[in-house]
Amino acid sequence: MKLTNTYIFKLIFIISLCSSMLSGCINKRVESDANAIIEKKVDSLLALMTLDEKIGQMSQVRHFDDITEDEIATKFIGSVIHTQGPAPGKDAKGWQAKFTQLQKKALSTRLGIPLLFGVDAVHGQNTFEGATIFPHNIGLGATRDEELVEKVSKITALEAQATGFNWIFSPCVAIPYNEKWGRVYEAFSESTELTQKMGVAAVKGIQAELPDGRTVLATAKHFIGDGATDFGVEGGNTTISMQEVNTRLLPPYRDALKAGVGSIMVSFNTLSGMPMHANKTLITDTLKTAMGFDGIVISDWKGYSRFGKNEVINAGVDMIMAVDGDLDDFQEGLKQGIEKDSVSIDRINDAVKRILRQKFRLGLFKNPFPDSTLIKSIGSPEHRDIARQAVRESLVLLKNENKALPIDKKTKKIVVVGEHANNTGLQSGGWTVDWQGLTRNYSGATSILDGIKSIAEGEVVYDKDATGNYTDADIAIIVVGESPYAEFFGDIGDGSGTYKLTLSPEHQKYIKTYASKGIKTVVVLISGRPLVVTDQIKQSDAFVAAWLPGSEGDGIAQVLFGEYNFTGKLPHSWPRSVENFSRRFGPNFWDKSIKPLYEYGYGLSY
């Protein structure tokens, strides 16, 4: 038989396909065997445990205030969280030393079960000053770049490990229904489909292959309906139908589960009046049984005492953030519940098995201590290059007239206006070093003004509050926006609080002052959500939505001066007026007849 080129090609293709299928089968077999071994180890360990040891494994505490170091062992603690409060040490070496000390306490117990160390690393290892801080998720959603999000997440995992952690409470895969919600920036987009893609990329980056020594446990949060509460109230009531929950809110979780996410955090909100922490139908019947999730379901802050105590355990929550005085109440209350048969021992065993399973998958029984060689990676130039790329790709150009952008590097005189231009804390938003963020510059970060000065070849002057008499300026770059906030502190509510859907009168004045002088005006908006800035966009020659860029402010300057073009696209439709938000949800979700100022996906280039 004559072997034609076509025949040979087909033969090679078939051989390649068979080889690929065989490799896939082998990999699945190896994975199946590894899981079987882990399950045997989990069952053997569980059989040796006392009730006190099991309840201890279900307890997560802070490394300060909640416990003494010895109580790590005497109360058989399963996990430690670092959050707002005293730092574990003065530098990364000190952080590792503290967590090593606590781990040794856990390993000194009869069964030697290692601790999980968790942290809210939501845009980099943001609890450690000097780490690489990336744009918040709303900015990453604007990039549409899944490969970049995976890189960002890998770096976050690495720098978290370098400071002693093996568990990250990220990504947030909420779908925000209303910009009044104080956590809009923690989510990727109002689009379910985009959130699915970005959530999977984040999980892959954070977890990769769990025991490989360069990865940590990821957490999809907050389950479920956190971004869809009425009027955007943090922890409020979500009154949407179960059909809408299934079609809009569950898909990112389904995809995260397929990607292997190791834990799920339950939400503060109620769903049709029932606290999500006590919602057995969704936690156990839907998430664990129907969707097949075999990882850890963890409560949010003080979830036990706030949402029904043992009802929370019966609903399917496996680990409790027993903080702010909750530890004894939780451990004693759960033990009494078991003794009185209001909580079954099977439910306890299920919870502990899930916790032990992830500890084995992470390889903590073999390698329980942090790796000191990773410390040098924190805030490295390579990591900051990726963060700078993320900043550039996140920027969305909403308007560009009169050839305002790109700015010529040889422009004779540029005036930069606004406190946000010269303050890396303000440009980074909440969850940056402190829970509520910073209003000061922090270590390792570069301000927007620094970036402008490093590129511009002419004179650059800084006019913090638009009171300077710079009528001879060729162009004004005005940086305005929100002050940092996190969680319910950022809720807008009835408009009487600190945060509003509009710019402050002072920031509106910055723009009006320079626009009225006839100076070409470029506005850069720093915000955790789309704001109603219709009038300010009209006043400006160019307007850029920069979200919360993080530590690399010079990424903004690189795009303004044309070293890179704008590629970002809106992850949210942009509101036209405050009146658009007078009902339960934002205009994109309750009234299709209202035309937004800019549609979802809008974004200009030069």
Catalytic residues: 300, 487
For residue 573, which of 190, 21, 175 has the smallest C-alpha distance?
Answer: 190
- Cα distances (Å, whole numbers) of residue 203 to 79, 259, 550: 21, 7, 21
- What is the amino acid identity at position 110? R
Backbone phi, psi, residue 31, to 5°: -65, -40
Per DSSP, helices labelled H in 79-226 are 92-107, 137-143, 146-162, 192-207
> Are β-strands 237-238 and 167-168 bridged in parallel, bridged antiparallel, or unpaired?
unpaired
DSSP secondary structure letter of residue 130: T
- What is the amino acid identity at position 411? T
Q: In the Cβ-directed half-sphere of 79, how many Cα atoms lie within 13 Å?
A: 31
Backbone phi, psi, residue 82, to 5°: -110, 130
Backbone phi, psi, residue 142, to 5°: -70, -25
The enclosing H or E element of 59 equals strand 59-62
- Cα distances (Å, whole numbers) of residue 506 to 108, 243, 417, 592: 58, 44, 12, 33
- Cα distances (Å, whole numbers) of residue 39 to 264, 290, 454: 20, 21, 56
For residue 518, which of 483, 473, 558 has the smallest C-alpha distance?
Answer: 473
Assess contact for 520 and 417: CB atoms under 8 A.
Answer: no
DSSP string for residues in 399-436: EE-TT-SSPPTT-SEEEEESGGGG-HHHHH-SSBSBTT
Polymer length of the chain: 606
